[in-house]
Amino acid sequence: MSSRYDRAITVFSPDGHLFQVEYAQEAVKKGSTAVGVRGKDIVVLGVEKKAVAKLQEDRTVRKIALLDDHVALAFAGLTADARILINRARIECQSHKLTVEDPVTIEYITRYIAQLKQKYTQSNGRRPFGLSALIIGYDDGPHLYQTDPSGTYHEWKANAIGRSAKTVREFLEKHYTDEVAGDDKECIKLTLKALLEVVQTGGKNVELAIMKNGQPLKMIDSDEIDKYLAEIEKEKEEEAEKKKAKK
Amino acid sequence: MASIMTSNYQPAVSAVSTGTLSQPDWLTSELSTGTTIAAVEFDGGVIIGADSRTTSGAYIANRVTDKLTKVTDYIYCCRSGSAADTQAVADIVNYHLNFYKMEMGEEPLVKTAASVFRTLCYNNRDSLSAGILVAGWDKRNGGQVYTIPLGGMWTRMPVAIGGSGSTYLYGYADANYKPGMTKDECLKFIANAISLAINRDGSSGGVIRLACITKDGVERHVLTGDQLPKFYEDS
């Protein structure tokens, strides 16, 4: 039955599905994982870096994009689609600044991206964007938003998208506490730990970025990531020791 | 340089006097930054300077104007001509350069900024009245000054002057500019230049605003009242 209702996107199926949108969400589930964590004074974005072929230049694969001085975006899904959306969002950030003399709020730019995605779920002959985005930034405080191919958006304290997103989200639900949120380093470590649930260990496989109030987006370099990873390893060992000692 | 200085200015006296009830010119004249602006390159950056008078006819609408406008963290423009036109153009250039910075992931070149200015000034040359100096620092070519007078031509010059007061400065600039001046010599040169023009041009006055742009960013100064460089005045 479903095969008759997934051609032209504008058609609903009898049981109320928009199949193209759902297929787009499947495409997202195939993309590499991205995790976002919002703390009290910091927002952290972590993405899984897909292994590059031997002859490929490593640095050209950038999954965390800067939209404006105070907004950044990470995505899971079709990279080419993401490029288009990022471009449109960057233009909107500047256009907003030119007309109202104020930088965009994170909610505004998220809404803009979401509306753009929705438009493509209701247009003739076009397919939806095959990506979900995690948008972080600062206006009056730190924010983390998520959009998906259907055009909906929500604010989150911590979330994951892409491959094994469900596993990572469950991990975040278990380990995200107000205590963690209050400490910058803990937020970074939580993001890393969440990513490590689905990614092979090593600073080479993850890309991490943080944003603090009034400061530009900072990409954490792989040496620092390795330091955090070492700390996490140590904590894990200490936990294991404690458990053994209890026995 | 002088060949493009066609007068696009509105005459200051615009009312037709049919009796005693003609409107004062400052009610009907366009807001102009009849002005003095100057910029000079040195090894490592640029110094830019401007006066601070905005006039509406004979009325000084703003005596503390800031005509040195930021377009990026390392590139400023000096505005002369119509205040509205230059503000609008500078805002649009700021928009383009911010977008460029997001796309490229690095600061735009001074040449790029000047090119964007030129595109706007040339394509809208019939509607605009804007003489702009673009000056800044980039990592490829260091300090640079570009002048974009009325028609939308652009050219790089080691020292550039503009605005109505600049007519009184050609001699001073030619006689006193030497290549290879230090940052402090350049500061003195610009401050003296603006001060001399303020003494002679009615459309220039107020304070002297200075800015120094290097790889370390922008340093701004203001010279007020007594701090203005003094020259011979017989009284």
Q: Looking at residues A13-32, what average pLDDT do you find?
A: 91
Can you give the pLDDT at residue A10?
66
Give kind and range of the element (H or E) at residue A89: helix A79-100
Give the predicted TM-score (pTM) of the model. Answer: 0.84
Q: Which of B33, B35, B55, B72 is catalytic?
A: B35
Collect all residues of chain B within an 8 Å Cβ-Cβ radius of residue A97: 95, 98
pLDDT in tens, A114-158: 999 999 888 877 889 999 999 999 999 999 999 999 999 999 999
Q: What is the DSSP letter of A105?
A: P
Average pLDDT on B170-187 reads: 96
Residue range A160-166: mean pLDDT, rounded: 94
Q: What is the pLDDT of residue A55?
A: 87
Contacts of A90 in chain B (CB under 8 A): 99, 102-103
Which of A86, A91, A94 to mutate: most B Cβ within 10 Å? A94
Phi-psi region of A15 (alpha: psi -120 to 50; beta: other; left: phi over 0): alpha
Could you report the per-residue pLDDT of B138-152, keeping only the tens digit for each?
A: 999 999 999 999 999
Compute how many other C-beta atoms are within 10 angstroms of the C-beta atom of residue B13.
14
Percent of chain B at pLDDT exceeding 70: 89
Taking the CA atoms of residue A35, residue A39, residue A42 and residue A46 in that order, the dihedral angle to the nearest 10 degrees is: -10
For residues B224 and B228, what is the distance between their CA atoms, to the nearest angstrom? 6
Helix (H, G, I), strand (E, B) or coil at B212: strand
Residue A5 has pLDDT above 80, yes or no: no
Could you say which of B95, B103, B105 has the minimum Cβ distance to residue A98?
Answer: B95
Chain B residues lying within 8 Å of A93, measured CB to CB = 102
More confident site: B156 or B27: B156
Those residues whose C-beta lies under 8 Å from the C-beta of residue B54, and which sit 6 or more positions away, are B31, B32, B33, B60, B61, B62, B63, B65, B83
CA dihedral angle for residue B175, residue B177, residue B179, residue B183, rounded to 10 degrees: 150
pLDDT for residue A117: 94
- From CA A63, how far away is CA A43, in angstroms rounded? 16
Question: Closest Cα of chain A to B99: distance in Å?
Answer: 7
CB contact under 8 A, B91 and A98: yes
pLDDT at A104 over 80: yes
Among A98, A192, A97, CA closest to A139: A97
Measured between CB atoms, which of A66, A67, A97 is closest to B95? Answer: A97
Chain B residues in contact with A66 by the CB 8 A cut-off are 102, 105
Q: Is the Cβ of A10 closer than 8 Å to some Cβ of chain B?
A: no
Q: What integer pLDDT is reported at residue B3 of this predicted model?
A: 40
Active site residue B35: yes
Q: Chain A: residue nearest B104 by CA?
A: A66
pLDDT exceeds cutoff 90 at B155: yes
Find, in chain B, the residue whose alpha carbon is nearest to that of A93. B99
Residues of chain B that touch chain A, judged by Cβ-Cβ distance less than 8 Å: 91-92, 94-96, 98-99, 102-103, 105
Q: How far apart are CA B57 and CA B50, in angstroms?
A: 20
Interface mutation vs chain A, best among B95, B104, B106, B116, most A CBs within 10 Å: B95
Closest CA to A42 of A181, A241, A220, A151: A181
Average pLDDT of chain B is 89
Closest-approach residue (CA) in chain B for A100: B91
For residue B7, the one-letter residue type is S
Q: Which residue, among A90, A96, A99, would best test binding to B if mutated, counting the most B CBs under 10 Å from its CB?
A: A90
* pLDDT tens digits, B101-141: 999 989 999 999 999 999 999 999 999 999 999 999 999 99
- pLDDT at residue A191 tops 90: yes
What confidence score (pLDDT) does residue B33 get? 60
Q: Which chain A residues are Cβ-neighbours of B94 within 8 angstroms? A: 98
Q: Residue B185 burial by CB count (10 A; 0-12/13-18/19+): exposed, middle or buried? A: middle
Q: Is A98 on the interface with B (CB under 8 A)?
A: yes
CB < 8 Å to A94, chain B: 95-96, 98-99, 102
Q: What is the pLDDT of residue B4?
A: 42
**Confidence (pLDDT) at A245:** 86
Cα(A118)–Cα(A99) distance, rounded to whole angstroms?
24
pLDDT digits (tens, 9 = 90+) for A65-78: 999 999 999 999 99
- Nearest-angstrom CA–CA distance, B212 and B187: 8
